[in-house]
Amino acid sequence: MTDRSAVKDVLRAQRIETPSWGYGNSGTRFKVFAQAGVPRDPFEKLSDAAQVHAATGAAPKVSLHIPWDGVEDYSALCAHARGLGLEIGAINANVFQDDDYRLGSVTNPDARVRRKAVDHLLECVDIMDATGSTDLKLWFSDGTNYPGQDDTSARQGRLAEALAEVYERLGDGQRILLEYKLFEPAFYTMDVPDWGTAYAHCLRLGPKATVVVDTGHHAPGTNIEFIVAFLLREGKLGGFDFNSRFYADDDLMAGAADPFQLFRIMHEVVKNGGLAPETGVAFMLDQCHNIEAKIPAVIRSVMNVQEATAKALLVDAAALRAAQDAGDVLAANEVLMDAYATDVRPLLAEVRAEAGLDPNPLAAYRATGWADKIAADRVGGHQAGWGA
């Protein structure tokens, strides 16, 4: 896109959904490092998310994780969100932190455990009804650690049955976003290990089931942008969980490890119409900020996605197509690299300034004094974090 005004219009309209768990304490298998001022409940998580939206102007939706974000009165939570200029985004089900799920949740060989897991998924649809959420995001830790541990085909059948029951419960305008993960916590087989498995289940379910691409859930060297292009072409890309990884599912800030990969992904999104609202592609963050300050890390991640999008929008599509049609490999690559090499920070600063925002979102947040305020105010109680 070479029309600067059109590029700015698209950037102004872009929305990036932030995760409630990104504001709470998290860590590794070895240690969770607590930070001062971390939220103690979902209401305080939304208050922190509002700081991100105020600074960036691009993050009005917040994903919830159930039961971490469970409350007695969801209407009160929604009212709190609206008062902050926010809305509830995807509802994420948790069928991996209960002792019953040691051998799996919806694919567990025990019918009682499977029933418990499906009932939780149905509860999450109830919460969607109560909050106005349209997206049910499903990730399953289900899998096996040893050859012969369970029947792989039977587990796929159990998964299909569970998904079908939940699918039938969906209301108008609601959908399933099915996430996949190569490994962890199961190390021999995962029941939804890759995009092909997720895609096959979504095809069987119908039009209200789509695939989520978590950028950290792939083997090293996987061409994620190809997956994105394919799913967009088939109308089955439901959204992204943006994060960065160096080795496995590191959940680092989006664009931190490989900004060029994020650009390549966004190029496929832009080129294939994925930014159009009618495609329904959700641009979500899925990150755990273990050692860095929470709110600035989320702001930085939103900015990184914006910068990758801006560069993708600056690709000269006509020149790229001409080079491709001519079979000019170097010229085609040069078109992409020229866009990637562009410093888009001044462009984004203009977009923010024209929207009445500070051109520098991180500086804007620091100037609010919010970090000091919450460190002083949120003393006592139980900090939110994994399992809270």
What is the distance between the alpha carbons of residues 168 and 195, in angstroms, rounded to a whole number? 22
Q: Which CATH number fits domain 13-308+359-377: 3.40.50.2300, 3.30.2350.10, 1.10.1740.10, 3.20.20.150?
A: 3.20.20.150
Per-residue pLDDT at 381: 81
Cα angle vertex 306, ends 301, 310, to 5°? Answer: 150
Q: Is the pLDDT of residue 152 over 80?
A: yes
pLDDT band at 112 (very low <50, low <70, confident <90, very high): very high
Per-residue pLDDT at 250: 84
The residues, any chain, with a CB within 8 Å of residue 350's CB and separated by 6 or more, are: 8, 359
pLDDT in tens, 261-274: 999 999 999 999 99
Percent of the chain with pLDDT over 70: 99
Percent of the chain with pLDDT over 90: 93
Strands 18-19 and 61-66: parallel
Q: Is the pLDDT of residue 61 over 90?
A: yes
Per-residue pLDDT, averaged over 105-121, amounts to 98
Q: What is the average pLDDT value for the chain, to the nearest integer?
A: 96
Cis amide linkage into residue 185, ω under 30° from 0: yes
pLDDT in tens, 18-48: 999 999 998 887 888 899 999 999 999 999 9
What is the distance between the alpha carbons of residues 282 and 12, in angstroms, rounded to a whole number? 16
Per-residue pLDDT, averaged over 219-241, amounts to 97
Cα angle vertex 39, ends 36, 40, to 5°? Answer: 110
Strand order in the sheet with 61-66: 18-19, 61-66, 87-93, 135-138, 175-179, 209-214, 237-242, 282-285
What is the distance between the alpha carbons of residues 103 and 140, in angstroms, rounded to a whole number? 12
Helix (H) or strand (E) holding 144: strand 143-144
Q: Is the pLDDT of residue 8 over 90?
A: yes
Q: Is the pLDDT of residue 69 over 90?
A: yes
Per-residue pLDDT at 388: 58
Please list the alpha-helical segments (H only) found in the chain. 4-13, 42-56, 74-83, 111-131, 152-169, 195-205, 224-233, 259-271, 294-313, 317-325, 329-341, 345-354, 361-368, 370-377
Q: Is the pLDDT of residue 320 over 90?
A: yes
Per-residue pLDDT, averaged over 95-110, amounts to 97
Q: Is the pLDDT of residue 355 over 80?
A: yes
Contact yes or no for 258/219 (Cβ under 8 A): no
Residues in the chain: 388
| Alpha-carbon torsion, ordered 177, 212, 308, 226, to 10 deg | -140
Q: Is the pLDDT of residue 383 over 70?
A: yes
Per-residue pLDDT, averaged over 332-346, amounts to 98
**Three-state SS at 65:** strand
Long-range contacts of 144-150 (CB under 8 A, 24+ apart): 144/186, 144/188, 144/189, 145/186, 145/187, 145/188, 146/188, 147/188, 149/188, 150/103, 150/104, 150/107, 150/109
Residue 346 has a CB neighbour count (10 Å cut-off) of 10
> How many CA atoms does the CB half-sphere of 239 hold within 13 Å?
29
Per-residue pLDDT, averaged over 1-13, amounts to 91
Q: Is the pLDDT of residue 241 over 70?
A: yes
Residue 16 has a CB neighbour count (10 Å cut-off) of 26
pLDDT in tens, 118-134: 999 999 999 999 999 99
Stretch among 71-85, 116-130, 176-190, 244-258 having the lowest mean pLDDT? 244-258
Residue extents of the structural domains in the chain: 13-308+359-377
Residue type (1 letter), 352: R
Which residue, 340, 324, 223, 220, is CA-closest to 270?
A: 340
pLDDT band at 387 (very low <50, low <70, confident <90, very high): low
Q: Is the pLDDT of residue 101 over 80?
A: yes
What is the distance between the alpha carbons of residues 261 and 300, in angstroms, rounded to a whole number? 17
Helix (H) or strand (E) holding 176: strand 175-179
Exposure string of 272-304, with b = 16+ CB inside 10 Å and e = fewer, is bebbeeebbbbbbbbbbbbeeebbbbbbbbbbb
Per-residue pLDDT at 73: 98
Facing residues of 97 across strands?
A: none
